[in-house]
Every structure is written in C-alpha cells, then in structure tokens.
A = this chain, B = another copy of it.
Amino acid sequence: MNTFTLSFASRSENESFARVAVSAFAAQLDPTVEEIREIQTVISEAVTNAIIHGYQDRTDGTVTIYGRIQDGSLHVSIIDFGVGMEDVALARTPLYTSKPDLERSGIGFTIMEQLCDAIEVDSAPGRGTRIELCKRIAPVMVS
C-alpha cells in the first residue's frame, strides 16, 4: 500500500499545486486522461473550500492531504483546522453556498459526490473539516 501526506499554506496559488501533486500520485493506478482530470477537479473543490470557507481566505492556515492507493482505488483526505461547519447536510445541498457574494456556485460538494465513488464529511464548528474521497481507478483486485 502506497501513501503520502502533503501539507501546505492556505494560499490560493496552492490549489493547482495540490491537484497536480495528487494526480501525479494517482498516476500509479494508470488512470485515463479523463480520470486524471476528474481527480484534479475534486481535489481543487476540496482544497478551495478549505482555503476560502475553512480559513476564510487567511493565508496562515495549513491544509493537509493524506493519500493512499489500495485495491485499485485512490483514497484522499483533505483536512483543514478552520471554522468548520454547523450543518453538514445543509452545506452538501446542491447550490447552497454561504458565500454568494464571492460568486460561489454552491456545487462543490455536488461535483465531489458525482466524480467520486464515495465521500465522507466530518466537521465541527471551530475545529475544522475533513473530507474523505474515494475514487476507483482500476477494477478491484481480489488479494
């Protein structure tokens, strides 16, 4: 089982860094171009949320990503220690956004749900948020 941990400053210029890094790790599963783009998209959504919602655009926060490859699937957790969420169900509602003034479209969670095989959200107000994503690339290997 292969794993990595990546931590970086909560700066928006790290959004592209994060999605390229995770997709470079996932390259070991031999994904299609389309799958690579999907991975980059969901990582971009989760990391952007950590920066603008979790840390409210403060640049002194830390975003951490744990990744692992297991049974042909990419498992990724994106973690921030920011403001957290009161109501995860509301947050996951399609088109809901707490920041319409920032031209947020409110479909970040919808995209993560649609482009991944599983998603778990763990959040507590004042403590932060952990998003766990699982995306199958190769057919599951019986080991």
- Determine if A53 is an interface residue (Cβ-Cβ < 8 Å): no
**How many copies, total?**
2
Pick the contact of A24 from B2, B7, B17, B27 — CB < 8 Å? B17
Interface size on A, residues (CB 8 A): 19
- Determine if A11 is an interface residue (Cβ-Cβ < 8 Å): yes
- Determine if A98 is an interface residue (Cβ-Cβ < 8 Å): no
* Complex Cα spacing A11 to B7, Å: 20
- Determine if A9 is an interface residue (Cβ-Cβ < 8 Å): yes
Bitwise interface map of A from 3 to 35 toward B, beta carbon under 8 Å scored 1, else 0: 111111101011011001100110110000000
Q: Which residue of B lies closest to A25 (CB)?
A: B17
A5 touches B6 (CB 8 A): yes
* Complex Cα spacing A99 to B14, Å: 38
Given known contacts A17-B27, A24-B16, A24-B17, is B7 in contact with A2 (CB within 8 Å)?
A: no
Interface residues of A, Cβ cutoff 8 Å to B: 2-9, 11, 13-14, 16-17, 20-21, 24-25, 27-28
9 A/B residue pairs, CB under 8 Å, sorted by A: A2-B8, A2-B11, A4-B7, A5-B6, A6-B7, A16-B24, A16-B27, A20-B20, A21-B25
